[in-house]
Amino acid sequence: MTYLVVTGHRPDKLGGYSLETMRRLSEFAQVVLPIALSGLGPGVYSYWNEEGRRAPLVLSGMAQGWDQAVAAACCHLDLPWEAAVPFDGQEARWPHDAQRAYRTLLKRANHVWRVEPREPTCYEDSVELLHRRNKWMLDRAHNFPGSGVLALWNGTPGGTKHTWRESEKGSFVRMNAWPLWERFLAGKLASSDTRLTVEP
């Protein structure tokens, strides 16, 4: 089995909290996922078959933005994926529609991991639990040789940068889709120009 860990920005760095932003993200994720899975090694993308013994599993932390866009793309492409929920009630302060979309996605995951059984006590505690979730995903994937990390990171500070830097400590294939995202937004992403920024 092989994992592809997903890390990326929330909507505020991707165009805003709107249905249009999520539509564009999901469309982009559907283009990028097959490329990223193929980047894990020869034939990896073809492993998701009826036997499923070596199916690469996408692992999403289920934050709003890139995490959920990739989860939705997995559902659309019929790819196996797992959700890593940092704590119960992650969605409690989100708008009603966002909560409903989140819970609908969770129902479609192959498995839901709850990293922490408790809810955070304050903002600082919630940030710490989110970091623990990110580390948990990397630790789990590290146990399976050939796993990778797919980021949508623009270089700015935050949880995505922290996860990307933490992934340097493992033997991951590391791919950043940000350059392709910029081309996608500009309408310049051609089917022949779909190389991810890869770091071994």
Residue position matching structure tokens 């909560």: 99
Backbone angles phi, psi at 2, to 5 degrees: -135, 145
pLDDT the model gives residue 117:
87
Res. 199 pLDDT band, cuts 50 70 90: low
- Sequence-distant (6+) residues with CB within 8 A of 18 are 11
Q: Exposed (0-12), middle (13-18) or buried (19+): which is 155, by Cβ within 10 Å? A: exposed
Q: What is the CATH number of domain 2-199?
A: 3.40.50.450
Q: How far apart are CA 33 and CA 170, in angstroms?
A: 21
Mean pLDDT of the chain: 88
**What pTM did the predictor assign?**
0.90
Domain boundaries, the chain: 2-199
Measuring CA to CA, which residue among 153, 129, 105, 124 is closest to residue 5?
A: 153
- Fill in the DSSP letter of residue 36: H
143-163: average pLDDT = 93
Res. 193 pLDDT band, cuts 50 70 90: low
Q: pLDDT tens digits, residue range 23-56? A: 999 999 999 998 898 888 655 554 444 454 455 6
Answer yes or no: is pLDDT of 189 > 60: yes
